[in-house]
Structure 1
Amino acid sequence: MSDIIIYDALLLTLLLVIGVPVPFCFAGAVLFLVLFGDFGSASFLIGAGYSKLSSIVVIAIPLYILAGSIMSRGGIAERLVDLADSLVGRMRGGLGIVVIMATAVFGAISGMASSAVAAIGTIMIPRMEARGYDRGYATALVSASAVLALLIPPSASMILFGWVTGTSILASFLAPVVPGLLLCTLLAFWNRVLTRRMPLVTPPSVDARQFAREVARRGRRAGMGLVMPVLILGFIYGGVTTPTEAAAVAVLYAIPVSIYLYRDIDWTDLADVIWRAGRTTGVLLMMIFFASMLGRVWTLEDVPQQILESFLAISENPIVLLLMANLFLMIVGMFMEDVSGILLAAPLLLPVMQQAGVDQVQFAAIIATNLGMGLITPPTAPILYFAGLIGNVPLARMLLPTLVFVFLAYLPVVLLTTFLPALSLTLPRLILGG
């Protein structure tokens, strides 16, 4: 590996550590290569970035962002919470399960962990505190649950993974589903354990008829929102549309539901939603542009192959290779959110995974679970800090429950996903064949 690439990687790491916004970290690394590297004209780098942005697959990501933003402002998050609350909210610790359920469903709608934190956290953290939950615990649970957005389809992260690695996007959607459901189960179990000594206030019990009436009423209110992920996935797996076309259908569906059915926004609000989604998309596309340029140079310099050789120099045992790859992914996730983490780590680790005999579809689930764990793993933990801002809670109050979720929920799922291929491959093979 040339000295200029080593210095460039160190610069990128330094910028990430000191807290520079991720798109500017990639931009700084690219600028360093242009100014100090011997790569001739920079025009080929610009072409590399543009060629990635011009892919039709990339269009799906801003469309999902827009659809999720519309549904978030349009009242879907609150209706999902109310429905889940009517189902399990009367159990002891039930409101924690409500967070997990609502975040998983909303994550499927928005496709991004940060959106799930903002939408569900704003509603649930005050509600949980009012019922006796520690505010730090409530915020930690929201952040841990929000990462389910990476695992439950349709996930923007899995679209990006499939595009970067050349893996089937449909299979990439399905690979993390079973690990995601297992993670939901473990989060619910530890929620029960961690809240056993909290002075929780549970709503009074009701008879079966009143329970059914309440669930039906709230189900009708949330029904059109719940249809959205089913509609998207039905169109995709039914062969009616591509993932990009399904994203466009999601936007066209979200607008009339939010404005005319739920009536929580009007056309003026919609303009603001589009503007905010556009800003998010602009940041995302800038990140993809510079990360693609950086990736082109690193590929020309044979960085992925040299990472493989450095791993093999330590051990050729597939189990050791996978453990080292998992550690690398967790560290990447600690410094970056999922989109930039996939842009950086997926092409670099693909040769390592192939050497270890890992199917690319399984790699989708491995990278999703690992980056998800990194997003809430201190000391950096971008999603954890974002949840802290939403909940107005310092890290110290979130630390203990977060470590329980990381080591006793996320880590077991990561290891099972890595070493039990059937966990991530059975569902894609069952639905897609092969």
Structure 2
Amino acid sequence: MDPLLLGATVAVVTILVLFSGVSVANGLLIVAAGFLLIFDGFRSLELMPEIFFGKLDNFALLSIPMFIIMGASIASTRAGADLYEALDRWLTRVPGGLVISNLGACALFAAMSGSSPATCAAIGKMGIPEMRKRGYPDGVAAGSIAAGGTLGILIPPSVTMIVYGIATETSIGRLFLAGVVPGMVLVGLFMAWSIYSTWRYGSVETLMRSGTYTLAQKLAILPRVLPFLAIILGVLVAMYGGYATPSETAAVGALLCLGVAIVIYRLWNLKALWVVLRDSTRESVMILFIIAAAGVFSYMLSSLFITQSIAEWIGTLDVNRWVLMICINLFLLVAGFFLPPVAVILMSAPILLPIVISAGFDPYWFAVVLTINMEIGLISPPVGLNLYVINGIAPDIPLKTILVGSMPYVLCMVLAIVILCLFPGLATGLPDLVLGPAV
């Protein structure tokens, strides 16, 4: 069978298997085993266990459970509520200060937890009721939190970036730095739209919080927030200062976050600590299982010459490289509508990266563009995980209202991709400045 036709068959079968309700990891293993058995015979199946476990034989993978523990320990406390309250106190008299404080809290909490659903839940429980109480439109209140939660997979430390680095064998530290400035650009675009939409549908009074806080009240909340921010800063300094590897800094960060949660938030209860470790283990195993299964799936694609044929076919296309990038973005966008970011990255990045590099694009710039596409998927149907998290927090806000409220933020993300295409230095400048030009 022609490799391209075989590749199309594999794509259709994979989609059908994943839509059947099978988990992503099991679905990839089933498809890989089936096609290897049909086209290579039983002997090819003997290599599957070795490939499966060999994919996990990577020291960098240790950083995934450590960063997940780091985020889970933060999410299990009132850190999100305190972070929101701290920003709210300092921005209380700023026009649009409430929505700005919510988006700022989302950005900071996302950086600490690395989890989009956790960010939506932690900030949304406080922010949505308060915004609605002050007269903000339901669409702005729900949409801003749903969009702000997506920043967890872009702003470092990001588990998604770690997975991309492992899948493509690129520097995780450089990937983290590449996401900083684009993440800030997204935050700025989100804030600009939120303020504009509030002015459009509300009034000047809507943008102002009633009441003021004294300087003492503003300072009183900081000791509960600053330790977590200091840990994040310390992790980044240790990593980029050359003092430790990403895995080592992740381990120290996880230990310190657990310590702060115990000391400041009185997380003495052993049951609560057990829940943190249990949930972190489950999420880590899930991600590692997908990574291993994706390794077997990639082996199947390579063994049947599907990957090579697709790359060769795209290389022969006489199209402008930006047309090629638009097609890749459309593919990633559609894939992100149906699959979680980790699965999309593991399945597509090894195939797309050689094509992207041959077209003259920077691999770290492409990582940011890919991640923003995955962010769009988090607030877009039919999966749209963040939409359902917000609906669970505020069940009286119809899902349609949440979806309509999040659509302008999708356009903000598309605009961010356009800006990155026009100014790629926004993603590559900071890594080159801190770590030197990529070899």
TM-score by length of 1: 0.92
- The alpha carbon displacement at 1:276 in A equals 1.4
Match of 1:119 in 2: 122
- Partners of 1:16 and 1:335 within 8 A in 2: no
Q: In the alignment, which residue of structure 1 is the partner of 2:360?
A: 357
Does the aligned pair in 1 maintain the 2:336–2:377 contact within 8 Å? yes
CA distance in structure 2 between the partners assigned to 1:16 and 1:143 by the alignment: 25
Q: Give secondary structure in 2 for the equivalent of 1:74.
A: coil
CA distance in 1, matches of 2:408, 2:268: 39
Instruction: Calculate the aligned-residue CA RMSD, in Å.
Output: 2.3
Structure-2 separation of matches of 1:141 and 1:428: 29
The secondary structure found in structure 2 opposite 1:429 is helix
Task: Judge which range, 42-51 or 249-258, deviates more.
Answer: 42-51
Give per-residue Cα distances to partners, 1:33-91, cap 9 Å, x unaligned.
35544253313122222112221111111111111111111222111111111122443
Match for residue 84 of structure 2 among 81, 85, 88: 81
Q: Which residue of 2 aligns with 1:10?
A: 12
Q: Which residue of 2 aligns with 1:236?
A: 239
Amino acid at match of 1:38: D
* Cα shift at 1:284: 1.5
Tell me which residue corresponds to 1:406.
410
Is the counterpart of residue 256 in structure 1 residue 262 in structure 2? no
The residue number in structure 2 matching 1:38 is 40
Q: How does 1:235-314 map to 2 (within 5 A)?
A: 235-264=238-267, 266-312=269-315, 314=317
Is 1:203 matched with 2:209? yes
**C-alpha contact (below 8 Å) 1:4/1:33 kept by paired residues:** no
| Residues in 1 aligned to 2:39 and 2:117: alpha-carbon distance in whole angstroms | 36
Shift of 1:92: 4.2
Task: Say yes or no: does 1:378 pair with 2:381.
Answer: yes
Residues 74-130 of structure 1: CA distance to partner in whole angstroms, max 9, x if unpaired? 222111111111122443432221221111111111222233223223332333333
1:301-323 per-position Cα deviation (integer Å, ceiling 9, x unaligned)? 33334333444555431111111
3-state SS in 1 of match to 2:44: coil
Q: Which residue of 1 aligns with 2:163?
A: 160
Tell me if structure 2 keeps the 8 A contact 1:137–1:397.
Answer: no
Larger deviation, residues 383-392 vs 83-92:
383-392
Q: For the structure 1 residues 35 and 139, does the alpha-carbon distance in structure 2 shift closer, same or farther, using more than 3 Å as the test?
A: farther
Paired residues in the alignment total: 430
Aligned to 1:57: 60
CA distance in 2, matches of 1:315, 1:284: 38
Letter in structure 2 aligned against 1:396: K
Contact kept, 8 Å, 1:11 with 1:29, in 2: the verdict is: yes
Cα offsets for 1:184-216 (capped at 9, x unmatched)? 11100110122222474843243xxx5432321
Counterpart secondary structure, 1:283: helix
C-alpha contact 2:4 2:310 (8 A) present in aligned 1 = no
Shift of 1:3: 5.1
Q: For 1:264 and 1:203, locate their aligned partners in 2 and report how far apart those are by CA, in whole Å.
A: 33
Shift of 1:240: 1.4
The question of whether the paired residues in 1 share the 8 Å contact of 2:372 and 2:417 is answered with yes
What is the CA–CA distance in structure 1 between the aligned matches of 2:421 and 2:311, rounded to whole Å? 18
Query: Aligned partners of 1:93, 1:22: CA distance in 2, in Å?
Result: 41
Distance 1:64 1:281 in 2: 10
CA shift, 1:293, in A, is 0.9
User: What TM-score do you get using the length of structure 2 for normalisation?
Assistant: 0.91
Query: Contact between 1:312 and 1:321, CA under 8 Å: does it hold in 2?
Result: no
Structure 1, 117-126 or 232-241: larger mean CA deviation: 117-126
State the identity %.
Answer: 31
Letter in 2 for 1:41: S
Of 381-390 and 325-334, the range deviating more from structure 2: 381-390
For residues 109 and 95 of structure 2, the distance between their equivalents in structure 1, rounded to whole angstroms, comes to: 23
- After superposition, what is the alpha-carbon deviation per residue over 1:240-262, rounded to whole angstroms, capped at 9, x for unaligned? 11100111101110122111222
Pick closer, same or farther for the CA change 1:306–1:256 going to 2, 3 Å.
same
SS of equivalent to 1:41: helix
